[in-house]
Amino acid sequence: MRKTIALLILFVAVPSIAAVVTFDRVTTYTDGSPIPSAKVSTIQYRAYYGPSQTGPWTAGDVVTDNLAITAPDPDPAKGVTLWYTVDASLDGQTSAKAVPASKTVPYPTPSPPPGCAVR
């Protein structure tokens, strides 16, 4: 059974749409014992974003029993990388943050030159 939260950033084609952070549901406590199935749906997850893999982190939305969070900020600016992570809370206890994942919006690629001739 997985003991950590996996994090995946889905790449969005439209730059003005916020990043979407998805992750696996927590099913065990840090000691490896299972979380009762009745409690799994009450776990709250919070997304964070920051400029580097170590933060500093800005807190975003909280969801319960939903495995996708729209990040609290739009996509990074072109050529910039933002890092995202998530944690889980249950019964007043909050997990460590998941291993961060990053998203970079690339600069657009220029069109090829319109013509080329050799004489």
Does residue 25 lie within any of the structural domains? yes
Q: What percent of the chain has pLDDT over 70?
A: 77
What is the per-residue pLDDT for 69? 66
Q: Tell me if 117 is assigned to some domain.
A: no
Torsion of CA 69, 73, 78, 81, to 10 degrees: -70
Q: How far apart are CA 86 and CA 46, in angstroms?
A: 5
List the structure tokens of 46.
């919070």
Domain range holding 56? 7-104
The residues with which 63 forms a beta bridge, in sequence order, are: 45
- Name the domain count of the chain: 1
**Dihedral class, residue 15 (left if φ above 0, else alpha if ψ from -120 to 50, else beta):** alpha
Residue 119 lies in a domain: no
Domain annotation covers residue 73: yes
- Preceding amide of 112 cis, omega within 30: no
What pLDDT was estimated at residue 2? 40
CATH number, domain of 57, equals 2.60.40.10
Q: Is residue 74 part of a domain?
A: yes
Confidence label for 17 from pLDDT (cuts 50, 70 and 90):
low
pLDDT band at 73 (very low <50, low <70, confident <90, very high): low
Inside any domain, residue 76? yes
Question: Is 118 inside any structural domain?
Answer: no
pLDDT for 70:
60
Bridge partners (DSSP) of residue 45 are 63, 88
Spatial distance between the Cα atoms of 24 and 82, rounded to a whole number of angstroms: 21
In a domain, 116, yes or no: no
pTM above 0.75, yes or no: no
